[in-house]
Chains A and B, each alone.
Chain A
Amino acid sequence: MTGAAHEEPTSFLRKYVFSLDHKVIAKQYLFTAISMALVGGLLAYVMRMQLASPGQEVPGYGMVSPAGYNTLMTMHGTIMIFWVAMPLLLAALGNFLIPLMIGAGDMAFPRLNRLSYWTFLLSTVVLISSFFVPGGAAAGGWTTYPPLSGSAALSGGAWGVTLWILAVALEFAAFLMGGINFITTAVNMRAPGMKLFDMPLMVWMQVAASVIFLFSVGPLIAGAVMLLLDRTAGTGFYNPATGGDPILFQHLFWFFGHPEVYVILLPGFGVIAEILPVFSRKPIFGYRMIVYSTIITGILSFMVWAHHQFVAGIDPRLATPFSITTILISVPIAVTTFAFIATLWRGSIEFKTPMLFALGMLGVFLLGGVTGIHNGTPAVDIYVHDTYFVVAHFHYALIPPVFFSFLAAIYFWYPKMFGRMMNEVMGKLHFWLTITFVNVTFLPMFPLGLMGHQRRISNPNFFEALRTPEVERLHDIATIGAIGLLLSQIPFLINFVWSLFRGREAGPNPWRATTLEWATTSPPGHGNFEVAPRVYRGPYEYSVPGRDEDWLPQNVSG
C-alpha cells in the first residue's frame, strides 16, 4: 500500500495512459482541465453575446432561450470551479511539484494517484454527457439551491441535476484521494534534511488547501446526498411542504463553498511565493509569517460561510458575527500580500513572463479582495446581493489564482515539465492582452451591479429599469472584453505547442532557482532524481553574501 518505488514502465500504455508517475498524472490533469477551460470559456462567450445583443442569434450557437441561459451559466460556473480551477491549481500543479520540491521519487500512493485521475476523467465524461440528456444539463446555478434543484420539474428535466450531483460526487472522490495523497507525501516523503520549515511555500499551500478541502467537503456531500434523495427517493429534506428546510442546503453548501475559495486561492499564492524570489533575486519576505497566515486563513475560512446568506432569511443576529469573521480573514490574506510586495523591495527585478503574471495576479486580486470586504458587510451586501457587483467581485477574486497564477506557473515550470523554454515575446504579448481584457470584461460589471442589474438573467430588456443606454453600453464593453480575452489565449496555445518542439533547450535550472525541482534534469526522468538529494537549508537563498553566484540551492552543501 505504501512506498513510492515502482518499476519504470516500458509500454506506451503504461507510460503515458495508465501511468503511476506523478508527472504524467499531473499532465493528464493539466490537459483535461485546459480542455474544460475551453468549454467553460465558450459557454461564457455565448452568455456575453446574448447579454450584449439580447434575443439575437449568437454566432456558432444560435438563439439563447431563458432556460438555455440558465444551463449556460450553471455549467460555466460548475466547469470553471470544479473542472478547471481545482484540477489545474491542486491536481496538476500539486501532483507535478510536491514530490519534486520535497525531493521524493513519487507520491506516497502512486496507485491511488492513478485512480484519482481516472475517477476525475469519469466525472468529466458524466458532466459533459449531461449536455446531451433529455431536458439538458443542470440549470440551477453552480450552487444548485433547492427547492428548485430538488424537483425535476423545476430544474430543467429529470437528468440534468442528477447527473450534475453524480459528476460532482465523483470529482470530489478524485480530489479526496488526491488531497490525502498530497498531505501524506509532504509529511512522510521529504528528502533527508528537509524540515517542515524548509519546505517551499508552494508545498505548504498545497497541503493547507488539501486539509481545508478534506475538512469542508464532508458536509457538502451530506447535503448533496439529501438533495439526490429528494430528487429520486421522494424525501423532502429541502421542501417546506413536507417540513423540510431549503436554507439547510445553503448552510451545508457554503460550509464547503467558502473554504473552497481558499482551496483555490492558496495554491495560487503558492505559485506567487515561488516566482517572486526567483525574479527579484531575494529571499521571500517573512516565510514563517506567510505559513502562519495561511494556517489562520484556513481556520477562519470555516467560520465565514453564512456571509453568502445575509438575505436568505437567516437570523439577522447571525449576520454580525459572520461579517466580523469575513472582514477578519482579510487580515492574514493582507499579511501574505504585503509579504509578497516586501519581497520585491530593492530586489533585482526581472520582468520575465512568469513574473509579469505573478505581479498581475497580485494587482487584479487586490480588487477582488477589497470588494470582498464590501460584500462581507451586511449593509452593503443587502444592496448588491445577487447583482453584477457580486459577479464582478468573484471574478476578480478567482481569475487571479485560476488564470494569472496558473499561467505564471505554466510559464515558470514549463521548462521543467517539457524540457524546453516558452517564447518570451509571445508570453509578454499574452500577458498584456490578458490583463487588459480581464479588466475590460469585468470592470463594467461593478457599475452594472450598482445600477441594480441582477445576475443570472438571460435578457436585461425583460426589466424596464435595465432598458437604458448605460446598461447596454456596459454590456457591450464587457462582451468585447470577453471575446478579446478568449482570443488573447491564442498566442498562449500557439506558444505552448510550438515550444514543445521548437523551444530552446532549458537545461536543469534555467531560472537559476534554489528549490529541489531545479536540481534534476528537465524533464525529470522516472524516479525524479538520479542521486537522492539531501537538503541543507531553506528554499529561498538568493543574493547570499560572500558567494560568487547569487543563489544557493537547497541541496548544495557548504
Chain B
Amino acid sequence: MSEPQPALASSQPLVPSGILAMVLFIATEILFFAGLISAFLVLRAEALVWPPLSQPRLPVALTGVNTFVLLASGWTVHRALVSVRGGGGGLVQWLGATALLGALFLGVQGFEWVRLVGFGLTTSSSLYGATFYTLVGAHGLHVLAALVALLVTWRRAAAGRYTPAEHVGLDVCRIYWLFVVAVWPILYVLVYLV
C-alpha cells in the first residue's frame, strides 16, 4: 500500500469534529440528568411529606453564593476563548481563574456534605438524603471531570498550543465546562429551593 492518506474530508467541515463530538456527548449527558431529575420529581411527588420532618434542612444561602461562584467560572472560561481569538495575552490566566473557581465550588460542596452528614443526612437516612446525594453528587463528579479536562487544557495553553486560528481543543473544553455550569442552577432550584 502507498503512503498513508491524509484525512479525506470533502471540504472544511461546518462544525469541527471535536466540537460535534462534544455536542453529541452533551446531548447524552443532558438525557442522563433528565433521567435523574425525573426520578427525583417522581419520588418527591409520591412522598407524603417532603422534606421529611426529621431530616436536616439544606444550606440554601451558602449554596446560593456557591452557585454564583460556578456561574462566574462560566464567564471566565468564555473570556479565555475571547483572549485566544483576539491573539492577545490572558488565556492562561482566564483558564487558571476558571479552574480556581471550579475548585472553590467543589470545596464548598464538600464542606457542606461533611456538615450534612454530621447532622444525620446520609444516603440511607431517607429518600430525601438519597436523592440529594445522588443528584448533587452526580453533578459534583461532572465538575471534577471537567476540572481535570480544564487543567489539561490549561497546561496546553501554557505550552502555547492554542493559536487564534487553531484552538478546537480549548473550545471543546469550554463547551463542556459551560455544560456543567448550566446544569447546576437547575439542580439548585429543584433540590434546594422548590
Q: Which A residues contact B (CB, under 8 angstroms)?
A: 1-8, 103-105, 108-109, 112, 176, 179-181, 183-184, 187-194, 214-223, 225-226, 229, 233-237, 242-245, 248, 252, 255, 525-530, 532
A-B contact count (CB 8 A): 167
B28 to chain A, nearest CB (A): 5
Query: Which residues of chain A are near B33, meaning CB under 8 Å?
Result: 218, 222
A243 touches B31 (CB 8 A): no
Which of A179, A189, A216 has the largest number of chain B CB atoms within 10 A? A189
**Any A CB within 8 A of the CB of B1:** yes
> Given A105-B7, A189-B9, A215-B27, do A244 and B35 touch, yes or no (CB 8 Å)?
no
Query: Which residues of chain A are near B11, meaning CB under 8 Å?
Result: 192
**Any A CB within 8 A of the CB of B32:** yes
Segment from B57-65, B105-113, B122-130 that makes contact with A: B122-130
A222 touches B32 (CB 8 A): yes
- 11 pairs from A and B in contact (CB 8 Å cutoff): A1-B172, A8-B4, A105-B4, A179-B24, A188-B13, A189-B9, A226-B134, A237-B131, A243-B47, A248-B42, A527-B5
A226 touches B39 (CB 8 A): yes
Q: How far is the CA of A78 from the CA of B6 in the complex (A)?
A: 40
B39 touches A237 (CB 8 A): yes
Segment from B15-23, B75-83, B94-102, B179-187 that makes contact with A: B15-23
Query: Which residues of chain B are near A525, meaning CB under 8 Å?
Result: 1
B42 touches A234 (CB 8 A): no
Given contacts A180-B24, A214-B28, A225-B36, 19 further A-B contacts (CB under 8 A): A1-B168, A1-B169, A3-B7, A105-B6, A108-B17, A188-B15, A192-B11, A193-B10, A218-B29, A218-B32, A218-B33, A218-B34, A219-B35, A219-B38, A222-B36, A229-B130, A242-B127, A527-B5, A529-B5
Query: Which residues of chain B are near A108, meaning CB under 8 Å?
Result: 17, 21
Q: How far is the CA of A181 from the CA of B134 in the complex (A)?
A: 29
Interface majority SS on A: helix, strand, loop or mixed? loop
A245 touches B42 (CB 8 A): yes
Query: Which residues of chain B are near A109, meaning CB under 8 Å?
Result: 17, 21
A5 touches B27 (CB 8 A): no
1/0 per position for B145-179, CB-CB distance to A under 8 A? 00000000000000000000000110010000000
Q: How far is the CA of A339 from the CA of B11 in the complex (A)?
A: 33
A181 touches B10 (CB 8 A): no
A532 touches B8 (CB 8 A): yes
A222 touches B24 (CB 8 A): no
B127's partner among A6, A191, A237 (CB-CB below 8 A) is: A237
> Given A104-B8, A188-B17, A243-B47, do A527 and B1 touch, yes or no (CB 8 Å)?
yes
Query: Which residues of chain A are near B54, meaning CB under 8 Å?
Result: none
B18 touches A215 (CB 8 A): no
> Given A180-B25, A528-B5, do A219 and B42 touch, yes or no (CB 8 Å)?
no
B193 to chain A, nearest CB (A): 22
Interface majority SS on B: helix, strand, loop or mixed? helix
Which of A109, A112, A226 has the largest number of chain B CB atoms within 10 A? A226
Pairs A-B, 4 closest by C-beta atoms: A234-B124, A525-B1, A218-B31, A222-B35
Which A-chain residue is minimally distant from B50 (CB atoms)?
A243
Query: Which residues of chain B are near A529, meaning CB under 8 Å?
Result: 5, 8
B31 to chain A, nearest CB (A): 3
Q: How far is the CA of A2 from the CA of B18 in the complex (A)?
A: 6
A352 to chain B, nearest CB (A): 29
Query: Which residues of chain B are near A176, meaning CB under 8 Å?
Result: 25, 28
Which A-chain residue is minimally distant from B30 (CB atoms)?
A218
Which B-chain residue is minimally distant from A4 (CB atoms)?
B7
Query: Which residues of chain B are near A191, meaning CB under 8 Å?
Result: 8, 10
Q: How far is the CA of A234 from the CA of B46 in the complex (A)?
A: 20
Q: How far is the CA of A517 from the CA of B163 in the complex (A)?
A: 38
Which B-chain residue is minimally distant from A189 (CB atoms)?
B9
Query: Which residues of chain B are near A221, meaning CB under 8 Å?
Result: 32, 35
Query: Which residues of chain B are near A181, meaning CB under 8 Å?
Result: 21
B31 touches A215 (CB 8 A): yes
Q: How far is the CA of A529 from the CA of B21 in the complex (A)?
A: 25
Q: How far is the CA of A226 from the CA of B130 in the complex (A)?
A: 9
B17 touches A184 (CB 8 A): yes
Query: Which residues of chain A are near B32, meaning CB under 8 Å?
Result: 218-219, 221-222
A92 to chain B, nearest CB (A): 21
Which A-chain residue is minimally distant from B6 (CB atoms)?
A5
Q: How far is the CA of A255 from the CA of B38 in the complex (A)?
A: 12
B10 touches A235 (CB 8 A): no
**Any A CB within 8 A of the CB of B43:** yes
A216 touches B8 (CB 8 A): no
B1 touches A530 (CB 8 A): yes
Which of B1, B21, B131 has the largest number of chain A CB atoms within 10 A? B21
Q: How far is the CA of A156 from the CA of B136 in the complex (A)?
A: 31
> Given A193-B10, A215-B28, A244-B127, do A235 and B5 touch, yes or no (CB 8 Å)?
no
